[in-house]
Structure 1
Amino acid sequence: MRELLIDLSVPIATGMPVYPGDPEVELSAALITAVDGVNVHRLHLGSQTGTHVDAPFHIDDFLPGLDELPGGGVFTGPADVVDVRGLAPRTAIGPEALPERPAAEGAMLVFATGWSRHWGTGDYFAHPYLEPATAESAAARGWPVVGIDAPSVDPTLEPGTPGFTLAAHRALLDRSAPMPVGPMIVENLTGLDRVLDARAAGRTIEMMVFPLRLPGDGAPARVVSRSLPAP
């Protein structure tokens, strides 16, 4: 059995879902072969578009930007995938969902809610999310990167509305201890069902996160799972 690569990133396309208040996504032709001899697209999108990385600067001007993190936020390492599929809309994921074993050095903690099946529908924004206590425990136990197959680790609310506190973001990103690659959050993952199937087949799971080299709050990222047969 060979290694298995699974793309966990959503495609970038005009009109794709974005977090409320974020820039809408538009791809248009800037150059065309009939006139210019080449095809080049013009891209209009936000730094939090699609599958993306949140750096600490996302929540505070005085925290590091993506370009200030070790390796520019590039992550490659083992993945602890938590299966919380089957939750009702807007359900909080409690600390009891966390793995009992300690976090492996440099491991990424990933919550598989199954919510990516709602991508492109209004239900996508009624996703499960992390209780602040869950985020606090994950941070305290040393996972430098936390991912989810939903728009946010917090409830999705319009910025500025009551309840928009980003408590889970703050617990994960505002850490005083130095981290090997983060702290970072990865949101809008997709395809985690296949990762769980690979794990059930006895494969070891690794993840690779490659954000664009942008400064500041974060960037769209290509995220890939790599699984190998068990030794």
Structure 2
Amino acid sequence: MESWLDLSVPLVTGMPVYPGDPRVEVDRALRVATDGVNVLRLHMGSQSGTHVDAPYHVNSAWPALDALPLERFAGPAVLADVRGLAAGTPITPALLAPALSLLRLQPGAILLLATGWSAYWGTDQYLGHPWLTPEAAQTLLNASVRTVGVDALSVDPTGDPDLAAHRVLCGAGGVIAENLTGLDRVAAAQAAGYSVEVFLFPLHLPGADGAPVRATARIGGRAGYA
């Protein structure tokens, strides 16, 4: 039976952000009692909460968010289950091998990295997530992946100015989704042999480096590769 999963963190005042990014503030601008309508006032950075990065995020000469084709933000998904890794562990091509075998059956699929780090959302431990090596990022590109999502603050080590995995993926016109949550449910669906589609459509911000998304997954029928 088809079902939908929300893979997004809630946008709330004081929520975790990447070190140095703008603080998120959400409050009431208008109220029905005094203004006739309810309207929220939002203050946040483009990389707040569950969001996508465009190539422009790491290189001003690369495409901005609105220059990317919409198909970058939706499609069939394959999950790489790397839960259980210690803090700060590099995710190598060898760790992606099971997912790569599924990607051969679904060329062009979105790759979801399930590190389990969403369990630490809101704590200092969230900053010490596993990270994708540039070699692993290139391996994904070689498998025709152009969109990668992760349930962590970044695909690179938080605070690392090199952003090597970002540069490999974004340099190929790729999209990166970060701060996903609930990937354990996607892992369970994939393990049971169900197909998974993911939707990561961002706000339409012209010239943007990225934008928040309401990330969702649709679990469908048996995929035939369990």
Same fold (TM over 0.5): yes
**1:205 lines up with 2:196 in the alignment:** yes
Instruction: Give the deviation of 1:140 after TM superposition.
Output: 2.6
2:118 & 2:184 partners in 1: Cα distance? 10
Provide the rounded CA distance (Å) in 2 between the counterparts of 1:22 and 1:57. 16
Alignment correspondent of 2:161? 164
TM-score (norm 2): 0.92
Q: Which stretches of structure 1, 4 residues or more, deviate above 3 A after TM superposition?
A: none
Q: Which consecutive residues of structure 1, in runs of 5 or more, have no partner in the other structure?
A: 158-162, 176-181
Residue 54 in structure 1 maps to residue 53 in structure 2: yes
TM-score by length of 1: 0.90
Structure 1 position 75, deviation (Å): 2.3
Matched residue, 2:222: 230
Counterpart in the other structure of 1:66: 65
* Residue 174 (1) aligns with residue 150 (2): no
Is residue 7–residue 216 contact of structure 2 (8 Å, CA) maintained in 1?
Answer: yes
* 8 Å contact kept, 1:6–1:226: yes
User: What CA distance in whole angstroms lies between the structure 1 residues aligned with 2:131 and 2:214?
Assistant: 22
Give the structure 2 partner of residue 126 of structure 1.
128
Number of residue pairs matched? Answer: 218
Counterpart Cα distance in 2 of 1:139 and 1:199: 22
Instruction: Specify which structure has the higher proportion of helix.
Output: 2
Task: State how far apart, in whole Å, the 1-side matches of 2:219 and 2:3 are.
Answer: 5
Q: Residue 78 of structure 1 aligns with which residue? A: 76
Distance 1:103 1:169, change over 3 A: farther
8 Å CA contact 1:129–1:153 kept in 2: the answer is yes
Deviation at 1:202, TM superposition (A): 2.1
Question: Partners of 2:100 and 2:33 in 1: how far apart?
Answer: 60
RMSD between aligned alpha carbons? 1.4
Q: 1:103 to 1:143 in 2, by over 3 A?
A: farther
> Counterpart amino acid of 2:86?
A
Report the AA paired with residue 5 of structure 1.
Answer: W
Matches for 1:178-193 after TM superposition, within 5 Å: 183-193=174-184
